[in-house]
Chains A and B, each alone.
Chain A
């Protein structure tokens, strides 16, 4: 039945103008869907993947964010005493105390400044977060007021890069490096020495402690030991879960908004596709009558027109995915609702979202193509043969 395929392809091609228009419409709607999916992927990447499955975050009981949490030095000391925490090759415990504060920074091209997370930490933090990598300069030195800024901060804020100065708390800090973090939230942060940052703010407590699990099963052990210790009053969370909880509200909001729009536009696209195909059926009525007179079955007529509609959908889907590849170079920023800080993320195209988009484009062209195809199949042969026109 290759000839019938050729027949469909050439008919789609022959109506190049209407075809292009309806493909364009279908492609735009598919692109909206794809963009929403890519947005979700990007946010997931930025938020959820910031957390590593091997890391455990300790926060004060009741605190839902690092900003709102506080852990005293002696609490941190008790935690360090507990067994089961992974050690570095030097024999030191990987339990990193961090202080998280927010500062207001002037943003390039924006009138109002935005909040940025400053994370006081220790150099070992690079081992806890292997996704963080210096792309320029060097790491800060312990005990100094040197800082490393995330790549997104360097790109989007008026800072001046390596060698420039920045006031955080009561101190003046020197930018010595720029770090990348595979699109995760750390790219939108600034980090430096934890003790210096505490001094700059006159604080005597950390925000959090991050531990590396020696093995995945150790989580339960640590949770039992620390979570139930009444002196400590700390909660134990997998870093992944912490970031996932933070992203849930935002991701749900964006998806809901996006899918609502997609749904509304999808109706439009379906109607557009339906009109196109009704037009095709109307202009080929005699042709359909002739095919029936030759002995073609109504079912074969139906499949020819469905096929044509599906081809429109397939081309629209491919176009949308093509445009989606270009969208990958778009970086967006949003307010991270849980920290009220600026979070930059990139639209991310995954094979799954490309497949979903293709399936979507095919389904709406299918749905739109069914009524005209049924009409074509049901045309009374004698009347169809009698129709004026080509």
Chain B
């Protein structure tokens, strides 16, 4: 948590290797992230990191299933295996009946659940969520938080979440407060 511009998004980007620190090193999921080449980082990210975005970032011209399938294109799975994984991920977020819907046919909460399915479909170790409920109403937000909690409890996902919402922060085991680029 922290005020705008305090470095919350920046820390997520650093962990994912999308950004590079000017000082110090970053270790995540068994890798010294800050010392990798771009191509290696991309491969590592595909395998160990899942992203959940505030504005979902679903591709409007692809269906829910196709959006979720995207990260699997970077794996060596066959078409059939990919489809099994996609179905499992969408089942987990409770959207088995919306597989062939396009993002515009879904509610905000449903879109975010597709976003979460996309983040977990390749079974990553770490989920990075930048204000995942920032755009949702209270009940949809609660459903998303419950889902993230389940992912942590049942699937052992490490979840790093940025939020402005104290109630959402209450779900966390540990809360870091950011201010002007520093952890308080």
Contacts and interface: CB of A to CB of B under 8 A. Distances in A.
Given A293-B16, A385-B53, A3 B46 contact: no
A110 interface: no
Interface string B18-46: 11000000000000000000010011111
A382 B70 contact: no
Contact of B19 (A297, A382, A390): A382
Contact of B73 (A3, A286, A289, A293): A3
A290 B67 CA distance: 11
A82 interface: no
A287 B58 CA distance: 8
A337 interface: no
A10 interface: yes
**B interface majority secondary structure:** helix
A7 B62 contact: yes
Interface-central residue, B53, B61, B62, by most chain A CB under 10 Å: B61
Contacts of A340: none
Contact of A290 (B13, B39, B53, B73): B53
B59 interface: yes
A295 B9 CA distance: 18
Contacts of A290: 51, 53, 57, 59
A201 interface: no
Nearest to A11: B61
B61 A14 contact: yes
B66 interface: yes
A264 interface: no
A126 interface: no
Given A6-B66, A14-B60, A295 B42 contact: yes
A290 B53 CA distance: 9
Contacts of A287: 57, 59
Contact of A381 (B18, B53, B73, B74): B18
A296 interface: yes
A256 interface: no
A286 B60 contact: no
B7 interface: no
A159 interface: no
B69 interface: yes
A293 B128 CA distance: 11
B55 interface: yes
Contacts of A296: 42, 73-74
Interface in A282-334: 286-287, 289-297
A4 B39 CA distance: 20
Interface in B98-122: 118
Interface residues of B, number: 28
B19 A7 contact: no
B134 interface: no
Q: Which of A4, A290, A297 has the most CB of B within 10 A?
A: A290
A295 B60 contact: no
B71 interface: yes
B45 A297 contact: no
A103 to B, nearest CB: 67
B45 A293 contact: yes
B69 A294 contact: no
A352 interface: no
A360 B30 CA distance: 51
A289 B74 CA distance: 16
Contacts of A293: 16, 18, 45, 51
A194 B113 CA distance: 91
B105 to A, nearest CB: 15
A17 interface: no
Counting chain A CB atoms within 10 Å of each CB, which of B16, B59, B71 scores highest? B59
User: Which of A1, A3, A6, A293 has the most C-beta atoms of chain B within 10 angstroms of its own C-beta?
Assistant: A293
Given A1-B73, A11-B61, A382-B18, A294 B45 contact: yes
A381 B53 CA distance: 14
A127 to B, nearest CB: 65
Interface in A340-390: 381-382, 385-386, 390
A201 B52 CA distance: 95
Closest 5 CB pairs of A and B: A295-B46, A10-B61, A290-B57, A295-B45, A381-B18
7 contacts: A4-B73, A10-B61, A11-B61, A295-B42, A295-B45, A295-B47, A382-B19
Given A11-B61, A294-B71, 10 more contacts: A3-B70, A7-B61, A290-B51, A292-B18, A295-B44, A295-B47, A295-B71, A381-B18, A382-B9, A390-B60
Interface of B: 9, 13, 16, 18-19, 39, 42-47, 49, 51, 53, 55, 57, 59-62, 66, 69-71, 73-74, 118
